Amino acid sequence: MAQVLEFKLPDLGEGLTEAEIVRWMVEVGDVVAVDQPVVEVETAKAMVEVPCPYGGVVTARFGEEGAELPVGAPLLTVAVGEPAESAGPAGATGATGPAGPAGPAGSTDGAGAARSAGEQPARGSGAGGEGAGEAKGSGNVLVGYGTSEAPARRRRVRPQRTASAAPARAGRTNGRTNGRVRSAEPADGPVPVISPLVRRLARQNGLDLRELTGSGPDGLILRADVEYALRAAAARGGTTAAHEAAAAPHPAGQLRAPAPALVGGQPPAEVRTPLKGVRGAVADKLSRSRREIPDATCWVDADATELMRARAAMNAAGGPKISLVALLARICTAALARFPELNSTVDTEAGEIVRFGHVHLGFAAQTDRGLVVPVVRDAHARDAEELTAEFARLTEAARAGRLTPGELTGGTFTLNNYGVFGVDGSTPIINHPEAAMLGVGRIVPKPWVHEGELAARQVVQLSLTFDHRVCDGGTAGGFLRYVADCVEQPAVLLRTL
């Protein structure tokens, strides 16, 4: 007979203790293969697709989309092996959706369908007369979690629901393919959406993505497009207006529309956003940084004209293009080699300053999910081309919500290019538990005394926020001055290569 196995939310690594269900990828009654992704969850670090280590028929799901589950909580149950002749897939308490695919009343072929579709049961699981035998997980690893042998336990298989439940299921499966949710997707293909979070935002507000025209590349629907449509709806008093406003693309400069006007003389209702997920993790880290780190900031204006010319010459020579942030990262690693005190952390429990021998360079990236800091491993050992490629890869993964927890942790120093927001300067909060952060403002033409004469030069403001416990102002000033010298005269950098 069939063995019903319970799959729990695995340990996602990096000390994460909970995750939010973003999207279920299977329905109750679906046939799943070993290691098939079954649910997409969002942690404080990244978006993760969780694969199920068992193959069989899904008999129960635990938790609705948007619910938070602790690590170790049940995610779903799967019927593995051949079921008993007189029973159908189990409908365990807490399941969402029907108990299984509707067949003749009182009968089921759930596990048989798995075999007919070529799906293999979990390794080591019995079939037929060995259905009660030992079932094992796939053994694959998910972010530090190894699927292990399934517990030797059974659950009573409940009878299948009556055929009267079939029409309700048929009504709910409108817009699904093979029983899986295809929310906000037309029959002829998926809607181009940048991330599942955009889908969820539209779904929670009753907005049909098929009626939006995206402003991203190739019509990609961005979060800004959805927010623009929702603001239009709030201003006009209904979701119909949002659909009308979203039917045509809006100029990029109008993605962030002004606050909705008063409707009937009343201000718009207040909006409350839970501090959870990425936003909650950012809030916790920044609060801890302010509590624990006695930081100080110094800054300097630098003439970046020669750096911009050097980059233009490098890119004109052919080969892969070099990004400006890659050159700034190269300057950072050279400066940290001269001033290693800033490539460190404070171990408060041991009462020690820990200086690192490697540079894992974090960089601030603004995404639809909020501010994240991907980490370039061993940045000190990469040249400008390698740094450009790695920055591009991590930035794309960040915007798509595909960064793993390992790509978001372990940084030793952070480079923050806030000039992309059109601002000159900032006093950033250190990315705890690091000891320093270099900020780079926008590069703009300004009057500058060059070689004794007033000229228009490309000027940038550089700022360094540092933990005053790891060094004094002399060290911090020396680091920042060296960075500025390399920006003004890139040839200075050659002496350290």
Category of 480 on φ-ψ map: left (φ > 0), alpha (ψ -120 to 50) or beta? alpha
- Number of continuous H segments (helices) and E segments (strands) in the chain: 11, 21
* All residues at 6 or more sequence positions from 188 whose CB lies less than 8 Å from its CB, including other chains: none
CB atoms < 10 A from the CB of 63, how many?
21
Beta bridge partners of 47: 42
Comparing CA positions, the residue from 463, 466, 464, 446 lying closest to residue 454 is 446
**CA-to-CA distance for 336 and 358, rounded, in angstroms?**
10
Tell me the two tokens of residue 85: 């002749």
CB hemisphere CA count around 225 (13 angstroms) = 31
Pair of tokens at residue 105: 């009343």
The residues near 174 (Cβ < 8 Å, ≥ 6 apart) are none
Q: Which residues contact 81 (CB under 8 A, 6 or more apart)?
A: 1, 2, 3, 56, 111, 121, 125, 126, 127, 130, 131, 132, 133, 135
Number of residues assigned to the chain? 497
CB-based contact 374:365 (threshold 8 Å): yes
Scan for tokens 């750096």, then name that residue. Answer: 307
CA distance 101 to 4: 17
CA distance readout (Å), 197 to 325, 371, 375, 476: 28, 15, 23, 40
Print burial letters for 377-411: b (CB count within 10 Å at least 16), e (below 16).
Answer: eebbebebeebbebbeebbebbbebebbbebbbeb
Name the DSSP class of 350.
T
At residue 225's C-alpha, the angle toward residues 223 and 226, to 5°, is 65
DSSP H helical ranges for 317-468: 324-338, 384-400
Catalytic residue check, 468: yes
- Tell me phi and psi for residue 204, to 5 degrees: -65, -25
Return d(Cα 298, Cα 248) in angstroms, integer: 47
Catalytic residues: 468
